[in-house]
Structure 1
Amino acid sequence: MRVGVADTTFARVNMGAIAIDELKRHASVSVERYTVPGVKDLPVACKKLIEERRCDIVMALGMPGGKDKDKMCAHEASQGLIHAQLLTNHHIIEVFVHEDEAENDAELAWLAEQRTREHAVSAIRLILAPKELERDAGTGQRQGFADAGPARR
């Protein structure tokens, strides 16, 4: 299995290195990394990882800022990632950590690492063990923060 890792220089945490570490801890995979300047560059990086480097699945890692303009750019990048998935018929796992999700740098670094690691495991499961994800359907899983759990009547 070949996993693509697309990350950015704009991020304040080396999310690509974290993803690669976690992927290799959970499966024997070949990893292709493609680093771009910012989140709006991620869709083409992911598409190239799928089409040119023959990745089976790709993780798109980014850290948008907390300003309104940054949120708009993150939304545009998300739309591009969805489009790239539809064009390639491959999953692209979006792993964005917004700077305003944390109150300080330590919490931001912790969240970026946790979310990246948990999404890396999900990427492996999606390709190698999809029935495991099916068993978790409706359980309120969250990446980074505590799981929400299922809604109760």
Structure 2
Amino acid sequence: MIKIGVVDTTFSRVDMAKYAIEVIEENLPEAEIIRYTVPGIKDIPVAARRLLIDEGCDAVITLGWVGPGQVDKYSYLAMSVGLIMLQIMTGKHVIDVTVHEDEAGDLDDLYNIAVDRARKHALNLVMLVKYGREALTQYAGKGLRQGRPDEGPIKE
């Protein structure tokens, strides 16, 4: 049985986990999905750790929201370092899906970024868990983006 952990926050302004779970269920129907919701991004690493180690998840996708202030940016940096350390310690993927509130001009754009990023990264996670380390190799250097339109490669 494949187990996938999904960590999200109450601070987020979009229920990104809903969209990530839809993609996982559609593409990996045999997986058990365990959702863990925490208050904010600094709580994400411990939730991811609990899912990977205590619950035996094969991989985790984290869905965080970063406010526009400098303190928010520092909180994101601390969270990101924690997730990187967790990946190194467990040897398992933690796909960090984060939306920064100041990356869009209006709320509709921000919503679309959040949904697109959650869906695309959930698919990346499915590919890695289902097909292994070479699953994304065919897309290397293609300028793919999550949350925005793809940029494309500089040269084919």
TM-score (norm 2): 0.94
Following superposition, the deviation at residue 135 of structure 1 comes to 0.9
* Stretch moving more, 117-126 or 105-114: 105-114
Displacement of 1:43 after TM fit? 0.6
The equivalent residue for 1:19 is 20
1:139 to 118, 123, 142: 142
CA distance in 2, matches of 1:132, 1:76: 29
Cα distance in 1 between the residues matched to 2:26 and 2:102: 30
Q: Paired residue for 1:128, among 127, 130, 153?
A: 130
Question: Which of 37, 40, 44 is the aligned partner of 1:38?
Answer: 40
Question: 2:54 corresponds to which letter in structure 1?
Answer: E
Q: CA deviation at 1:132?
A: 3.4
Runs of 4+ in 1 over 3 A off after TM superposition: none
Matches of 1:144 and 1:113, distance apart in 2: 7
> What is the SS of the residue equivalent to 1:151?
coil
Q: Quick check: 1:139–1:149 contact (8 Å CA) kept in 2? A: yes
Give unpaired runs (5+ residues) of structure 2: none
Shift of 1:18: 1.5
Percent of aligned pairs sharing the same letter: 41
- Alignment of 1:51 with 2:58, yes or no, is no
The CA deviation at 1:56 is 0.4
Distance 1:148 1:57 in 2: 27
- Provide the C-alpha distance between the structure 2 equivalents of 1:69 and 1:136, rounded to a whole number of angstroms: 35
Q: What are the superposed Cα offsets for residues 35-79 of structure 1, whole Å, 9 maximum, x if unpaired?
A: 111101111100100011111010011010111111111111100
Q: Which residue of 2 aligns with 1:62?
A: 64
Name the count of aligned residue pairs. 153
Q: Distance in 2 between matches of 1:17 and 1:150?
A: 31
Equivalent-residue separation in structure 2 for 1:83 and 1:4 (angstroms): 17
Q: Quick one: distance in 2 between partners of 1:52 and 1:93? A: 18
- Please state whether the residue corresponding to 2:155 is helix, strand or coil: coil
Is the counterpart of residue 97 in structure 1 residue 99 in structure 2? yes
